[in-house]
């Protein structure tokens, strides 16, 4: 029996914790390499911190043959993925029968807005998204690394641009809060990047 539901708040995501963390473990291996950014913990934090500009619209589809989670958000004019303004390489989580993920995509499509995702990582990820006809993405101009210090609720620091020059740029308040939460948690081996 297929069950599909949409969760629309960070609080509702708490019901998914056990299934989401199980799915994270299933999504490790040669054909599916889930990253830190697919974790329940980071998505839950992002859903809470960024609620002012993107409300959760997470789709869960499950049956006896599979489980899929699309960590979507609803913005003013489009759909996106939770935390995409901070996280790199977002993706869905899916295990088992591919039809379960297809049902999740159909449920998300019922919202009637376009889905905008900045970047997909690797060939295996792109293959999972081919049915949605992804458009090519132009690479960013530069990437800044923040070895930064945390002060007054902001993350700031000296950065090194890809071309070798340096720059400093504070992250926004919401990004600083979630970044410090990430760094304080079990994922303390993080580097922070921002577009220059």
Question: pLDDT of the chain along its 196 residues, tens only?
Answer: 999 999 999 999 999 999 999 999 998 876 677 778 889 999 999 999 888 889 999 999 999 999 999 999 999 999 999 987 777 667 899 999 999 999 999 999 999 999 988 777 777 777 777 778 776 665 544 333 344 433 333 333 333 333 343 443 444 555 556 656 655 664 444 555 554 4
Residues 104 and 159 in one domain: no
Which residue range(s) make up the domain with 191?
Answer: 143-195
d(CA 38, CA 97): 20
Angstrom distances, CA of residue 92 to CA of 83, 106, 116, 145, 191:
13, 14, 13, 27, 23
Cβ burial, residue 102 (10 Å; 0-12/13-18/19+): middle
pTM over 0.75: no
Structural domain total, the chain: 2
Selection from 157, 98, 148, 104 nearest residue 128 by Cα: 98
Other CB atoms within 10 A of residue 64 CB: 9
Is residue 167 in some structural domain? Answer: yes
d(CA 62, CA 100): 6
Is residue 161 in some structural domain? Answer: yes
Let me know: does 19 contact 12? Beta carbons within 8 Å.
no
Residues 117 and 22 in one domain: yes
């Amino acid at each position: 029996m297929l069950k599909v539901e949409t969760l629309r708040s960070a609080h509702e995501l708490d019901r998914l914790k056990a299934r989401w963390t199980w799915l994270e473990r299933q999504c490790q291996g040669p054909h599916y390499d889930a990253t830190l950014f697919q974790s329940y913990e980071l998505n839950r934090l992002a859903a809470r911190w960024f609620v002012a500009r993107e409300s959760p619209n997470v789709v869960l589809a499950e049956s006896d043959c599979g489980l899929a989670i699309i960590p979507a958000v609803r913005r003013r004019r489009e759909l996106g993925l939770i935390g995409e303004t901070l996280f790199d390489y977002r993706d869905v989580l899916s295990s088992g029968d591919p039809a379960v993920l297809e049902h999740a995509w159909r449920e998300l499509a019922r919202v009637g807005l376009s889905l905008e995702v900045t970047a997909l990582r690797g060939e295996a990820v792109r293959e999972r998204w081919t049915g949605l006809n992804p458009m090519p993405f132009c690479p960013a101009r530069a990437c800044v690394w923040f070895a930064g210090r945390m002060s007054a609720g902001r993350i700031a620091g000296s950065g090194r641009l890809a071309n070798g020059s340096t720059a400093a740029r504070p992250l926004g308040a919401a990004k600083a809060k979630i970044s410090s939460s990430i760094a304080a948690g079990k994922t303390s081996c993080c580097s922070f990047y921002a577009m220059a």
